[in-house]
Structure 1
Amino acid sequence: MPLAVREAKAAPGKLTRADYYGFFFIGVLLFSGAALQQVGMQTTSLTNAAF
C-alpha cells in the first residue's frame, strides 16, 4: 500500500474523460466475466465438470 500512495502522489495531473471511459469499459468486462462464470457454475453438472 505505501508504494501505491507514492505512485498516486507522482501521478501527472487529472484524469481525462478517456480515462474514465477506459475504467468503465474494464469494469463492464470484469462484471460480465464474473456473471458468466456464476451462470456456468450454476448450470454445470458433476458429470460435465469432471470431463
Structure 2
Amino acid sequence: MKEERKFGAASQRNGITDRARAAVCQLQDAGILFAITSGRPPLSMKMIIDALK
C-alpha cells in the first residue's frame, strides 16, 4: 500500500484533510469568509472547493 503524503491542509489522495475541512466549517459558522489561492490547475481546485461544500 502506498503511503499517503500530506502537505499542510491538502493530501495527495483526497485533496483536503478532515482537520482542514472542520476548520473551514468553523470559520463559516462564525461568519468568517474563507478564500483559497493556489498554483494548482483549475480542476484540482474544483476538487478541493467541492470537498468544502
TM-score relative to the length of structure 1: 0.34
- The structure whose Rg is larger is 1
Larger strand percent = 2
User: Comparing both chains, which one has the higher relative contact order based on Cα–Cα distances under 8 Å and sequence gaps of 6 or more?
Assistant: 2
Larger helix percent = 1
